[in-house]
């Protein structure tokens, strides 16, 4: 079996990108002055003229753009360490461990970025990590996205590619949002974790199981 896990809100108790960026800014307060650079992209997003991927790219360029790899890596190690200590659902860890004991292939699929998601995946024992890529120019972070934002229909595409590469393994997929139902419904078994009331109703219509993880 292939066990496909979302990250934010499924394994972790909350979103990871904003805390990652906020934590970096707190340690580099001079960069707070760069935040107004985000406003044009935020305005376009609020007016539905930009998607989440464009907003994410603008956020990273405005806040971390130009940083050296060593300082980004140092913060990533600190951020991931703290997240592993107290930011994960115990039930998620138990599910990951159960799949590992069964010999299942573990894949982490996240819209969050490769600044830190691969480190989380490695620490949790995932054999493969698919996440949103971020551009570097040598030793300096650019911040533009190098891949589609791994969300919604992009997760559907990723699931189809995984199915082709891992055939004939059945796929069990875990997610937590309404947009995750797009790929959960295509898995052999889809499981919605801690979904909103609206997401749970849609999950039941799509034949997706609903769970509460703590």
| pLDDT tens-place string over residues 162-189 | 999 999 999 999 999 999 999 999 999 9
**CA–CA distance, 33 with 37 (Å, rounded to integer):** 9
As a dihedral over the C-alpha atoms of residue 25, residue 26, residue 30, residue 31, rounded to 10 degrees, the angle is 10
Fold of the CATH domain 2-211 = Rossmann fold (3.40.50)
Annotated domain spans of the chain: 2-211
**CA–CA distance, 95 with 11 (Å, rounded to integer):** 10
What is the bridge-based pairing of β-strands 140-145 and 134-137? Answer: antiparallel
Q: Quick one: pLDDT band at residue 52, thresholds 50, 70, 90?
A: very high
Tokens linked to 119? 């480190």
**Least confident residue range of 106-110, 113-117, 164-168:** 164-168
Indicate the DSSP class of residue 68. B
DSSP H stretches of helix in the chain: 17-27, 39-46, 52-63, 69-86, 90-101, 117-124, 153-166, 181-184, 197-206
Q: Quick one: pLDDT band at residue 100, thresholds 50, 70, 90?
A: very high
Tokens linked to 100? 């590992």
Does the pTM of the predicted model rise above 0.85? yes
């Amino acid at each position: 079996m292939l066990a496909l896990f979302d990250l934010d809100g499924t394994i972790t108790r909350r979103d990871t990108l904003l805390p990652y960026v906020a934590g970096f800014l707190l340690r580099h307060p001079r960069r707070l002055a760069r935040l107004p650079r985000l406003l044009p992209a935020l305005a376009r997003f609020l007016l539905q003229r930009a998607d989440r991927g464009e907003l994410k790219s603008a956020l990273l360029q405005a806040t971390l753009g130009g940083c050296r790899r060593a300082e980004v890596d140092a913060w990533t190690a600190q951020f991931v360490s703290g997240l592993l200590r107290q930011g994960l659902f115990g039930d998620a860890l138990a599910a990951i461990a159960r799949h590992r004991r069964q010999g299942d292939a573990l894949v982490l699929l996240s819209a969050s970025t490769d600044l830190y998601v691969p480190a989380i995946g490695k620490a949790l024992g995932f054999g493969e990590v698919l996440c949103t890529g971020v551009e570097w120019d040598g030793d300096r972070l650019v911040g533009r996205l190098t891949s589609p934002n791994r969300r919604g229909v992009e997760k559907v595409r990723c699931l189809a590619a995984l199915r082709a590469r891992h055939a004939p393994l059945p796929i069990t997929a875990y997610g937590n949002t309404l947009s995750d139902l797009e790929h959960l419904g295509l898995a052999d078994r889809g499981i919605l974790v801690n979904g909103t009331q609206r997401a749970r109703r849609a999950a039941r219509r799509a034949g997706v199981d609903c769970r509460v993880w703590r």
